[in-house]
């Protein structure tokens, strides 16, 4: 704005201010109500980051708790399962049967 225009623009501004101030009560009330209505319709902001962080922490705590309380006792109540566990040496024998066969042959020949 040039300095020449400043007094004119100032006068315009003051005149417009008076004009806006002189707004009738009904219109002013309608504008205020419109403003309130707009603000009330403002969408609530959801803070997803803290929600996600809390969920992750809760999931971790639950996982650790489940792992710590996991039942690792032997299946003592089930005889068949117990027998299978007890027979683990026999399983090794079967797996290395070739070795024992070779050992037996070697000892017999000597």
Partner 1 sequence: MAIEKRAFRMAEIATGSREDALDLVQDAMLGLVKSYGDRDSADWPPLFYRILQSRIRDWYRRNRVRNRFRVWLGGLRGDDDDERSDALQNLPDNQPGIERQLAGEDAVEQLQVALQELPLRQQQAFLLRAWEGMDVSATAFAMGCSEGSVKTHYSRAVHRLREQLEDHWP
With respect to partner 1, which residue has the nearer C-beta, 29 or 53? Answer: 29
Task: Give the C-alpha separation, 87 to 93, whole Å.
Answer: 10
Task: Give the C-alpha separation, 104 to 110, whole Å.
Answer: 10
Give phi and psi for 69, each to the nearest 5. Answer: -95, 10
The binding site for partner 1 (CB under 8 A) comprises 1, 5, 8-9, 11-13, 15-23, 27-28, 30-32, 34-35, 37-39, 41-43, 45
With respect to partner 1, which residue has the nearer C-beta, 28 or 85? Answer: 28
With respect to partner 1, which residue has the nearer C-beta, 17 or 96? Answer: 17
């Amino acid at each position: 704005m040039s300095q020449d225009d400043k007094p004119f623009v100032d006068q315009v501004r003051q005149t417009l201010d008076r004009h806006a101030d002189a707004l009738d009560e009904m219109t002013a009330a309608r504008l205020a109500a419109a403003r309130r209505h707009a603000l009330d319709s403002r969408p609530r902001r959801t803070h997803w980051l803290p929600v996600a962080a809390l969920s992750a922490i809760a999931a971790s705590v639950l996982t650790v708790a489940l792992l710590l309380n996991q039942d690792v006792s032997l299946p003592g109540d089930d005889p068949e399962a117990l027998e299978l566990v007890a027979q683990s040496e026999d399983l090794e024998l079967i797996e290395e049967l070739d070795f024992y066969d070779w050992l037996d042959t070697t000892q017999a020949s000597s």
